[in-house]
Amino acid sequence: MKNPLVASALALLLAAPALAQMGSPTESMGRYNSADEKAMVAFSRGLRAKKKADESKEPKEKAKLYEQAREELSKSLGYQQHYDGFLALGQVYLALGRRESALDACLHAQALKPSGEPAKSCIEEARKKPEKADTETKAGGGR
């Protein structure tokens, strides 16, 4: 063809059915999740693991679930820092007997919400002197 405009239009017409089958680029490559969405998904998984750990009677399972909760909550906070995430992470660290880490997480929560009573309680608990049996080995220990 001598006219490049006609040749381009013809090429587009021939390619259109194939492009239509592929769908939009985001549909064919998977859904894009924002940092907020990723943070909430990880937070939700962390809370579920924490709840299961809180309810578990088996010490090894309890420790494993708290570690799982710690990982997911940390991941959530990596995407987006939020009060509930820091508070839950502080509570998980307390359950693991990791008071310094708990204090750090609870202080972060308090910085985001200074009037938050749960954060204040978490800080108080983390600052308590450990009992003899609570020397950083409670449910999974001092990593």
Asked if residue 22 is part of any domain, the answer here is no
Asked if residue 86 is part of any domain, the answer here is yes
C-alpha span between 56 and 60 (Å, rounded): 9
Cβ atoms of residues 130 and 97 within 8 Å: yes
What is the count of structural domains for the chain?
1
Closest by CA position to 101, among listed 110, 114, 89: 89
Closest by CA position to 93, among listed 65, 58, 118, 67: 67
The SS3 assignment for 56 reads coil
Asked if residue 123 is part of any domain, the answer here is yes
Q: Which domain holds residue 76?
A: 35-128
Give me the mean pLDDT over the 92-113 stretch.
Answer: 97
pLDDT at 143 over 90: no
Asked if residue 51 is part of any domain, the answer here is yes
Q: Quote the tokens at residue 78.
A: 């990596």
Residue 128, phi-psi category: left (phi > 0), alpha (psi -120 to 50), beta (remainder): beta
Phi and psi of 97, rounded to 5°?
A: 80, 15
Asked if residue 134 is part of any domain, the answer here is no
Asked if residue 90 is part of any domain, the answer here is yes
Work out the pLDDT band at 103, boundaries 50, 70, 90. very high
Asked if residue 54 is part of any domain, the answer here is yes
CATH number at residue 92: 1.25.40.10
Mean pLDDT over each residue of the chain, to the nearest integer: 81
Q: Give pLDDT tens digits for 67-79.
A: 999 999 999 999 9
Asked if residue 103 is part of any domain, the answer here is yes
C-alpha span between 92 and 67 (Å, rounded): 8
Q: Give pLDDT tens digits for 13-62.
A: 455 454 444 444 444 455 668 989 999 999 999 999 999 999 999 999 99
